[in-house]
């Protein structure tokens, strides 16, 4: 009688996900460490209009983006990814005729969902005990139910975290980016059909630069911006 041996191997889903990104990205850039990604990231003004990201690249970038932190894990950011050239042209006009949204491969509108705090909040902690879920729900109601300002502030913070994730992840994938806030927000809201309880925080263009970034404008010293323990 033949005996069969079964072998079980535990695979970390996140490690598997990172390996999939390596397969669809430039491996040379994927070996970049975090410090290098931070120091080499620049706001690119001129993109190669011929370069087009694949749908797999866009999906991988956004899967990393939604790992960005949010208060109470409410995940109150919403992202509109635009690759349709006709829509990018409209965005370019709303962005005061700047070229980045038109020439870049991907335009990402980072928006805040002002109703996330009450949108079935138990799911934000579904992997934890019911007591934890109810505690978070109660905390969300206490902080946001009567404070539009808190909801807006939280949306701005969350999208800020996500924006930095997008730019650093893009850099590590061998791509370039440009964060933008210089556009007509009302017109942009019409273009992307923004829901009433959402707000647009910023836009990030991702693609390949057509020329090197110019020299940095000027960096303030640590002594001017970092204070130990308290302000002087």
Which phi and psi angles does 161 have, rounded to 5°? -60, -45
Mean pLDDT of the chain: 90
What pLDDT, in 10s, does the model give residues 172-186? 999 999 999 999 999
* Average pLDDT value for residue range 190-215: 96
Strand order in the sheet with 198-207: 77-82, 106-113, 198-207, 176-180
Domains and CATH numbers, the chain: 28-209 (3.40.109.10)
The conformation of residue 120, written as its DSSP 8-state character, comes to: S
- pLDDT value at residue 9: 43
% of residues, the chain, pLDDT over 90: 84
The conformation of residue 82, written as its DSSP 8-state character, comes to: E
Q: Are 44 and 178 contacting, i.e. CB atoms less than 8 angstroms apart?
A: yes
What pLDDT, in 10s, does the model give residues 51-101? 999 999 999 999 999 999 999 999 999 999 999 999 999 999 999 999 999
Indicate the pLDDT class of residue 155, thresholds 50, 70 and 90: very high
Q: Are 107 and 205 contacting, i.e. CB atoms less than 8 angstroms apart?
A: yes
For 139, counting Cβ atoms within 10 Å of its Cβ (0-12 exposed, 13-18 middle, 19+ buried), the class is middle
Indicate the pLDDT class of residue 48, thresholds 50, 70 and 90: very high
Q: Are 183 and 102 contacting, i.e. CB atoms less than 8 angstroms apart?
A: no
118 or 212, higher pLDDT: 118
Q: Are 132 and 176 contacting, i.e. CB atoms less than 8 angstroms apart?
A: no
pTM: 0.86
In the chain the beta strands, taken as DSSP E runs, fall at 77-82, 106-113, 176-180, 198-207
């Amino acid at each position: 009688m033949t005996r069969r041996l079964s072998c079980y191997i535990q695979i970390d889903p996140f490690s598997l996900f990172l390996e999939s990104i390596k397969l669809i990205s430039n491996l040379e850039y994927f070996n970049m460490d975090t410090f290098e990604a931070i120091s080499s990231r620049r706001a690119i003004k001129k993109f190669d209009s011929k370069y087009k990201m694949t749908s797999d690249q866009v999906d991988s970038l956004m899967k990393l983006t939604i790992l960005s932190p949010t208060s109470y894990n409410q995940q109150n950011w919403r992202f509109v990814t635009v690759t349709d050239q006709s829509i990018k042209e409209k965005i370019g006009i709303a962005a005061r005729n700047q070229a980045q949204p038109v020439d870049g491969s991907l335009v990402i509108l980072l928006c805040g969902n002002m109703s996330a705090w009450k949108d079935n909040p138990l799911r934000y902690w579904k992997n934890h005990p019911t007591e934890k879920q109810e505690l978070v729900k109660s905390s969300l109601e206490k902080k946001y139910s009567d404070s539009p300002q808190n909801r807006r502030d939280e949306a701005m913070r969350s999208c800020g975290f996500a924006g930095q994730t997008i730019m650093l992840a893009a850099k590590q994938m061998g791509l370039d980016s440009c964060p933008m806030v210089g556009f007509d927000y009302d017109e942009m809201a019409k273009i992307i059909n923004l829901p009433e309880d959402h707000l647009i925080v910023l836009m990030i263009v991702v693609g390949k630069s057509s020329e090197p970034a110019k020299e940095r404008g000027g960096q303030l010293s640590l002594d001017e911006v970092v204070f130990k323990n308290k302000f002087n």
